[in-house]
Amino acid sequence: MRFAIMGQLSLAPAARDGTGPYAGLGLSFLGARGGRGAGYLCAVLGLEAAPGRGSGWYAEAGLGGGVRVAAGWRWRRLPAGR
């Protein structure tokens, strides 16, 4: 079992074109049946397409109880006028 909570900070939140970097910190807990669990500090660095628009790709890499690599597509609804 793995549980993590993270906060992320976009370094270019209003960028509507190109890419925007982001960074994140958090805590995770790693546990297995019959063994002791362990807590870890997590850190990620990532890049996302046009953070100021509603959707786009993202890719990130990080550490925290092991190596983390993720890529995907995000959907979000932004307020009108943004």
37 DSSP 8-state letter:
-
The model's pTM: 0.75
Mean predicted confidence (pLDDT) in 52-65: 88
The answer on pLDDT for 18 being more than 60 is yes
CA separation for the pair 61, 57 (Å, rounded)? 14
Which is more confidently placed, 13 or 10? 10
Mean predicted confidence (pLDDT) in 8-37: 87
The answer on pLDDT for 48 being more than 80 is yes
CA separation for the pair 45, 35 (Å, rounded)? 30
Do 73 and 50 touch, CB atoms closer than 8 A? no
φ, ψ (nearest 5 deg) of residue 37? -85, 170
- Looking at residue 47, what is its pLDDT? 94
CA separation for the pair 25, 5 (Å, rounded)? 9
Do 53 and 45 touch, CB atoms closer than 8 A? no
Residue spans per domain, the chain: 2-75
- Looking at residue 78, what is its pLDDT? 64
